[in-house]
């Protein structure tokens, strides 16, 4: 039996009534010491660029309840999350996102990633999205629309 409950129960970041000037870079400072994250917040956030940038201690992120309906930028969002092994992007709304370049750059512990359900119809930049994802053995991008790139 594992007695390290911190490994079993994710930390939760709950952000409500977010100021319109809150960005991924500002939120990054809240995540520096957290290992497991579930994010729940309202739809005022428009910029997730660099949100978890170089958060090398994070092993699990669950964004299934994250209202990203107004987000337009996700570049470098998980870049440098070298310990990240599990990422839940189910229900993530990316219908307005135009930038995803370097999104998973150096996620060297991530072994599987399903992006099949993401709407990428407005994405213009995807360069080096999976660069240096050295452990990635499963990647589902079967519905990837890169017509605007």
Give the confidence band of 1 by pLDDT, cuts at 50, 70, 90. Answer: very low
CB-count burial class (<10 Å; 0-12, 13-18, 19+) for 25? middle
Is 133 in contact with 109 (CB distance < 8 Å)?
no
Q: Identify the pLDDT of residue 28.
A: 53
Highest mean pLDDT among 57-61, 106-110, 137-141: 106-110
Residues in the chain, total: 149
Q: What are the pLDDT digits (tens) for 55-97? A: 888 888 888 878 888 899 999 999 999 999 999 888 888 899 9
Is 34 in contact with 11 (CB distance < 8 Å)?
yes
Q: What are the pLDDT digits (tens) for 13-59? A: 544 444 455 555 545 555 555 666 666 565 677 888 888 888 888 88
């Amino acid at each position: 039996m594992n007695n390290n409950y911190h490994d079993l129960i994710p930390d939760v970041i709950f952000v409500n009534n977010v100021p319109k000037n809150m960005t991924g870079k500002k939120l990054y400072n809240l995540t520096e010491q957290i290992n497991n994250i579930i994010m729940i917040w309202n739809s005022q956030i428009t910029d997730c660029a660099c949100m978890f940038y170089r958060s090398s201690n994070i092993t699990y992120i669950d964004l299934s309840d994250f209202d990203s309906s107004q987000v337009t930028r996700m570049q470098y969002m998980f870049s440098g999350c070298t310990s990240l092994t599990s990422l839940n992007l189910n229900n993530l709304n990316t219908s307005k996102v135009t930038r995803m370049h370097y999104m998973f750059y150096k996620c060297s512990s991530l072994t599987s990633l399903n992006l099949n359900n993401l709407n990428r119809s407005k994405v213009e930049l995807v360069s080096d999205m999976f660069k240096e994802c050295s452990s990635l053995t499963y990647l589902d991008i079967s519905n990837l629309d890169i017509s605007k790139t």
